[in-house]
Chain A
Amino acid sequence: KQEVTQIPAALSVPEGENLVLNCSFTDSAIYNLQWFRQDPGKGLTSLLLIQSSQREQTSGRLNASLDKSSGRSTLYIAASQPGDSATYLCAAYGSARQLTFGSGTQLTVLP
C-alpha cells in the first residue's frame, strides 16, 4: 500500500525567500507525481504533474523534481510571495489508478 509523507508539516518564511518542500513515497512503481495547492476552505488546484519518465517540471516560479528510485519529490518555490501562502499537497498516482496524498505542508509567506 502506497504511503506518502510530506516534510515539514508547516513552514513560515519571509517574502522573497526561495524554499523547498519535500515529499517521499514508499512504492516507487508510480505513473506520475502531482503537486497541488489548497487555499483555506477551497478545493485542490493542480500545480505540476511529473510523469514517471520525467525528472522535473517547471511552471513559472515553481519547479518540481522526481527521483523514483529514492521515492522522493521536491517542490521548489523561487522568490516567494505572500500570495503563495497555502497548503501544498503531493500525491502519487500508481497502478491502482488512484491518487494517494500526503498530509501537506502549510506554507506562510510573511510580508
Chain B
Amino acid sequence: EAGVAQSPRYKIIEKRQSVAFWCNPISGHATLYWYQQILGQGPKLLIQFQNNGVVDDSQLPKDRFSAERLKGVDSTLKIQPAKLEDSAVYLCASSIPGGYTFGSGTRLTVV
C-alpha cells in the first residue's frame, strides 16, 4: 500500500511571499488532515476534511492560510502572505477509522 505523498520536501521563501503544499492521501481514506509542527512542539491540527468537505478549520489562520481537497482526493494547503512564524513542518495525514498514516512532511523556512 502506497503511503501519504507530500511535496515539496523543503521550501525556502521570503516573508510576504506565497507558497503551496500538496498532499496525496492513501487511496480510499476519506479523512485528510493538515498539521503544523513548529520546532520543539507537537503537531497542531490546522484543518480536517471528510471527503471534500471541511470538518474542522477552527485553528486555521484564515486571513493567510487556505486549503482545499479536490474531488475528495488530493489536497493543497496555501499560505499567502507568509510570515516568519509560519516556519514549520507541515504534515499531511489520512485515515480510516482506527488508523492514521502521516506523510513525511514539507519543511518550510520563511526568511
- Chain A residues with CB under 8 Å of chain B are 4, 6, 32, 34, 36, 41-44, 46, 49, 89, 91, 93, 96-104
Contacts and interface: CB of A to CB of B under 8 A. Distances in A.
B107 interface: yes
Contacts, number: 48
A97 B107 contact: no
A102 B42 contact: yes
B105 interface: yes
B104 interface: yes
Given A98-B45, A98-B48, A44 B56 contact: no
A49 B91 CA distance: 20
Interface of B is mostly: strand
* Chain B residues touching A, range: 20 to 34
B40 interface: yes
7 contacts: A43-B103, A44-B43, A99-B45, A101-B35, A101-B43, A102-B42, A103-B42
Given A43-B105, A44-B91, A97-B48, A4 B98 contact: no
B94 interface: no
Given A43-B91, A97-B55, A32 B98 contact: yes
A97 B103 contact: no
A89 B56 contact: no
Contacts of B102: 36, 43-44
B44 interface: yes
A34 B44 contact: no
Contacts of A41: 107
Given A34-B100, A43-B102, A43-B105, A98 B33 contact: yes
